[in-house]
Amino acid sequence: MRLRMGAAATVAAGLGVILGLSSACRPRRLPPPPPPPRLRLVAVGDILMHQDVKASAEHAAQGFPSLWADLVPLFQGADLAFGNLETPVAPSSGRPGVPFQFNAPAALPAALRASGFTVLATANNHAFDQGPRGVRETLDRLRAEQLVAVGSGEDRSRAETLQIVERQGVKVAFLGFTDIFNIDLNRKATDPWVRRLDLEPALAAVREARACADLVVVSVHWGNEYQHQPTKRQRDLARQLVEAGCDLLLGHHPHVLQPAEVLEVGGRKALVAYSLGNFISNQDRMYRADLFPVAGGDSRDGAALQAVFEQRPGPDGRRQVVLAEASFEPLWTENNWGVPAAKREIRVIRVAAAEVRVRAEVEALSALSVDPETPARRAALLEKQEYLRTLILRRRRIAATLGEAFVAR
């Protein structure tokens, strides 16, 4: 009996060794590699300070941020948020704004910063609306709020200094140019300066940025107003800027949207947004979908570009930053112009979210139709149905202009 037990123990021990060896030979499950570092950039178009936009901010509970409250989570959730500041901010050195010559109140920079903006283009055709002193005061006020201004400076050297912002371990270079001036007050290199889009210096600047940054973003004020197609000049310049090293080209000035495309030149790929349209304005204020053709509201269309870049190993094993995702979220500027005795209300909304909300409201009002219908309920239902139709029309219009592939349903 003792012999049998000893044999059993020997066999068990042998099995244990075999099992142990088998377990040791199994490949260990390694934890999945961490996701590559990602940088999210959001960009919108023209920030215009028409008188009614400023009046709307005066009436709003939170001032300017109330005018684009729907977008604040998007801006604040991004690593970088860009817009074209198409106005001086020079209440001390300039004159009150008038049509076609803008001036923004002192509260605007802090409102933009609190909303999540980080980088603003200041090279555009309205940069000199309040003269050279207005350029200087604008830059002082933006700097006080830690906002990065690209395309203008207290002198030529600073206007042309490369701006590099680091986020998520990615060095992002920003350059700003304007192809259009209402009045060009660039005189002496020691005075306030707005950077003109001259081809060879611009290409040289992009090459310089490419050599010292992981990602190169170029802001250009260009094109023809109210034209939905980029000009040949825009397309030619875009190709040359991409070939020089641009990764993301943000266009503005036409006050309407223009197509976007992923452009491949010389083995390099870049996202080009020829025009981001208006972000906020008082343009096309009279538009109503039931009274005007759809084109009558084009200057109230906007888009928030969301571009995600990832760090990945390149063919040579070295790190490179590439475009991983790109989409445009449709925006619409609500405007109560023409409503008798009403305070001006202008605000930018996210179309997709508004469409879901209004569709639910229409369904809720329609469900009440089993009760005796009152004139007030009927009027409310018709109003909601017309607004839903407006949102659907604008979403489709924006998608058709930018390109269906870029606008998520």
The predicted structure's pLDDT at residue 22: 52
Q: Using CA atoms, how far apart are residues 233 and 230, in angstroms rounded to an integer?
A: 8
Q: Which residues of 283-320 are buried (b: 16+ CB within 10 A; e: fewer)?
A: bbbebebeeeeeeebbbbbbbbbbbebbbeeeeeeeee
Q: Using CA atoms, how far apart are residues 56 and 66, in angstroms rounded to an integer?
A: 9
Closest Cα partner for 118 from 192, 44, 214, 38?
A: 44
Contact 327, 406 (CB under 8 A): yes
The predicted structure's pLDDT at residue 30: 77
The predicted structure's pLDDT at residue 4: 46
The predicted structure's pLDDT at residue 82: 98
Q: Supply the pTM of this predicted model.
A: 0.90
Domain extents for the chain? 38-335, 353-401
Q: Using CA atoms, how far apart are residues 299 and 387, in angstroms rounded to an integer?
A: 18
**At how many degrees (to 10) do helices 375-402 and 351-367 cross?**
150
The predicted structure's pLDDT at residue 63: 97
Q: Which region, left, alpha or beta, applies to residue 392 given φ > 0 means left and ψ of -120 to 50 means alpha?
A: alpha
The predicted structure's pLDDT at residue 33: 73
Q: Using CA atoms, how far apart are residues 259 and 391, in angstroms rounded to an integer?
A: 20
Residues forming beta bridges with residue 268, ordered by sequence position: 265
User: Is 38-335 CATH 3.60.21.10?
Assistant: yes
The predicted structure's pLDDT at residue 8: 47
What is the mean pLDDT, run by run of 10 residues, along the chain of 409 residues?
Answer: 45 47 63 82 98 96 97 98 98 90 97 98 98 98 98 98 96 98 97 98 98 97 98 98 98 98 93 98 96 96 97 81 96 94 93 96 80 76 94 97 87
